[in-house]
Amino acid sequence: MRLTPLSVITLLSISATSTLANANDAATIETLVTKKSNAPQIASTYINDAILPPAIEWHGKSEALLLSADNPWATPFEKNGLKTSPSYDETFIWLDKLIAQSDKLKKVSLGKSPQGRDIWMIIASTEGAETPQALAENDKPSVLVQAGIHSGEIDGKDAGMMLLRDIVIGDKGALLDKANLLFVPIFSVDGHERSTQYNRVNQRGPVNMGWRTTANNLNLNRDYAKADTIEMQHMLTAINTWQPDLYIDVHVTDGIDYQYDVTFGYNLPQGLSPASYAWLENIYRPAIEADLTAQGHIPGPLVFAIDNTDITKGMSLWNAGPRFSNGYGDARHLPTILIENHSLKPYKQRVLGTYVMLESTLHTVGQQATKLKSAIRKDKFNYAPMITLSWKEHQQAKGWDFKGIGYNLEKSDISGNEIVRWTGEPKLYHDLPLIGNTVADIRVKRPSAYYIPSQWTEVIDRLERHGIRLTLVEQPVALTLEQYQFTQAEFAAKDYEGRQRVDAQVTKQSIKTTLPTGTVKLDTKQPLGDLAILLLEPQSADSLFQWGLFNPIFTRTEYIENYAVEPLAAQMLKDNPALQTEFDLALEDPLFADDPKARLRWFYERSPYYDNQYMKYPVLRQK
């Protein structure tokens, strides 16, 4: 008899006192699953299955983690056929019941969402710590796992609920002997409750999925640097307060079809945290991939095809900026892992893969805590003399033997274009090109400090939200500093993430100035100094400048009438013969010569009446 997934689950039911089958059970399971069929099939679990590529039936040893639906400690996911995820209220009713069973679990609110929901975090420790101070006293590394930053991508919530259950009631309690777990089941809580079966058309489950953005239609995984949303401000406060040693952000990807079910990555060795990268790449990844493989999953690096219609063009290697979780972690020297489960894999498979990865993470971090903490400390106090603000793409020396899925291109009568038809058949693509933004482009020397005028309150607030240390100038001080001057400012044609972004040509000049009392000083020799540089250097793509927080400097508020500038210009030429030579040279440009307004403006800009702060960056640099 061919076993359906549900009948396998029934055979794997285990008691409430243990969440894992014993060794004999595991052997039985392995024998049973060898009878499975790997043939591609048209799935019929979810409303969008009929329009998605063929599915490959999956069974793995990690199915032994599942409780039967009638077990009193089954999660809502397990109770409902492994294809649904509970609502906000259902999630915390179940978790509150679990928390009541053990002193190891505590629940704290990080703050409320715009619609008034608490963003809850569960603290799991052997001591039952419920404050940052108490958690720090146990001297164990802490892993912060965040689910639902895009609330339709909610695998981490159901995996984390199962893992917490098994820590408290099953046989996973030893995971807390050497590590703490900070678990945020739902980050985008308002988006989570905008849930229907139609929200994520490219994803196989759960049945109802939350919305990608917040109630204000902002994408939290574009908000780390600018920190506009209330939700992100709460999360940054939590990171600064609880000081995790590893940060995991659980997503589900879109894009092409392939064999990997759990892909994960982090920023590259060229980034700002090379020691943390080395730990992640040489210690963390081998351990996690081995555990995932042993449990029947296919782990891999993050997958981003250069051309979704032509896999042979290769894959993109991503060095994220600090608007994203992994780029932000790199900038603040918090090792951060982006999990991207494959959207075309069934929900059960993705949840179980996430469970295995989280369990393996706690074990690995606990075993390798000293090396992890050493790497973080090395990055925090490196103080690199040169900081890269932008990157250029470069083909990597080593390609990728990519575990893909076969496909054909068919002419579409609907679009008139060629459409990819995935076959569901595994296919290995040998030595695909790998293109990464790994060559430094714009670089700047590290300033010793920045000075921010006190009136730029929104900028100062953002810096404080990130936990960057600031001090105040207590009495007027005369200094020689550097200031950026902008030209050719270009504003985006439409807003992006609630902001009108701006870019401009930049020059730098030395100025002598007296800073007034109350000016804010930011010393870059601090653990978050690299993050501060990326936020304040205007050529950084995620600078507060490019996000539009300094846009008022591009507004002209004082003008001069033509009847006044003309006699002013005549007097300026009379008093300054060198100016006449400069004007004659300008007139050699026919466009300038034929533009009366430009000619008058030329004199106004050189007069003492002109706004000397126009298009000048108010943040000053100290060498």
573: CB partners within 8 A, 6+ apart? 579, 580, 583
Query: Is 529 among the domain residues?
Result: yes
The closest of 153, 392, 376, 393 to 263, measured between CA atoms, is 153
β-bridge pairing 418-432 and 477-491? unpaired
Identify the pLDDT of residue 558: 86
Whole-number Cα distances in Å, 534 to 205, 350, 401, 552: 38, 35, 35, 21
Whether 43 is covered by a domain: the verdict is no
- Decide if 1 is inside a domain: no
* CA angle centred on 224, ends 277 and 244, rounded to 5°: 55
Domain that holds residue 569: 562-605
Last residue in a domain, options 401, 436, 468: 401
Residues 115 and 220 in one domain: yes
Please identify which residue in the block is written with the tokens 């490219």: 202
Q: Tell me if 99 is assigned to some domain.
A: yes
How many domains does one find in the chain?
Answer: 3
List pLDDT tens digits, range 560-594.
999 999 999 999 999 999 999 999 999 999 999 99
Residue environment code for 380-398, b if the CB has 16+ CB neighbours within 10 A, otherwise e = beeeeeebbbebeeeeeee
Residues 451 and 340 in one domain: no
CB 106 within 8 A of CB 122: yes
* Same domain, yes or no: 384 and 516: no
Are 245 and 309 contained in the same domain? yes
- What does the pLDDT look like over 62-117, one tens digit per residue? 999 999 999 999 999 999 999 999 999 999 999 999 999 999 999 999 999 999 99
Reply yes or no: is the peptide bond before residue 206 cis, omega within 30 of 0.
yes
Q: Determine how many CB atoms are found less than 10 A away from the CB of residue 427.
A: 14
Domain presence at residue 440: no
Q: Where are the alpha helices (DSSP H) in 466-561?
A: 529-536
Indicate the residue among 334, 369, 401 that finishes a domain. Answer: 401
Q: How far apart are CA 49 and CA 71, in angstroms?
A: 29
Return d(Cα 528, Cα 330) in angstroms, integer.
11
On the question of pLDDT at 618 being above 90, the answer is yes
**CA-based nearest residue to 288, from 344, 368, 225:** 368
Residues 582 and 551 in one domain: no
Write the pLDDT tens digit of every residue in 150-176: 999 999 999 999 999 999 999 999 999
Examine the domain organization and report whether 250 and 374 are in the same domain: yes
Same domain, 280 and 389: yes
Average pLDDT over residues 424-429: 97
298 Cβ contact list (under 8 Å, min separation 6): 259, 260, 261, 262, 292, 403
Q: Are 487 and 615 in contact (CB under 8 A)?
A: yes
Q: What is the CATH number of the domain that holds 193?
A: 3.40.630.10
What single-letter amino acid sits at 132? P
Looking at the structure, do residues 241 and 365 belong to the same domain, yes or no? yes
pLDDT band at 556 (very low <50, low <70, confident <90, very high): confident
Q: State whether 595 and 474 are in the same domain.
A: no
Return d(Cα 208, Cα 460) in angstroms, integer.
40
User: What pLDDT does 41 receive?
Assistant: 87
- 140 contact partners, CB below 8 Å, separation of at least 6: 125, 178, 179, 180, 366, 369
pLDDT of 422 strictly over 50: yes
pLDDT of residue 12: 35
- Mean per-residue pLDDT, 52-61: 95
22 part of a folded domain: no
Q: Are residues 250 and 274 in the same domain?
A: yes
Same domain assignment for residues 385 and 245: yes
293: which 2 tokens?
A: 């493989």
Question: Which of these three, 401, 434, 455, is where a domain ends?
Answer: 401
Do 527 and 587 sit in the same domain of this protein? no
* DSSP letter for each residue of 330-370: HHHT--EEEEEEETTS-HHHHHHHHHHHHHHHHHHHHHTHH
Residue 579 host element (H or E): helix 577-587
For residue 205, tell me if it sits in a domain: yes
Domain assignment of residue 490, yes or no: yes
Q: What is the pTM of this model?
A: 0.91
Whether the CB-CB separation of 444 and 537 falls below 8 Å is answered with: yes
How does pLDDT run across 280-298, given as a tens digit for each residue?
Answer: 999 999 999 999 999 999 9
State the average pLDDT for the chain: 93
Nearest Cα to 535, choosing from 436, 441, 447?
A: 447
Instruction: Please tell me the distance from the alpha carbon of residue 361 to that of residue 365, in angstroms, as a whole number.
Output: 6
Number of H helices and E strands in the chain, helices first, is 19, 23
- Tokens read off for 308: 């979704």
Yes or no: say if 455 and 553 are a contact pair by the CB < 8 Å rule: no
| DSSP code per residue over 183-194 | EES-SSHHHHHS
Judge residue 591's burial from the number of C-beta atoms within 10 Å of its C-beta, 0-12 exposed, 13-18 middle, 19 or more buried.
exposed
**pLDDT tens, 5-39?**
333 333 333 333 333 333 344 444 343 343 445 78
**pLDDT for the residue numbered 37:** 55
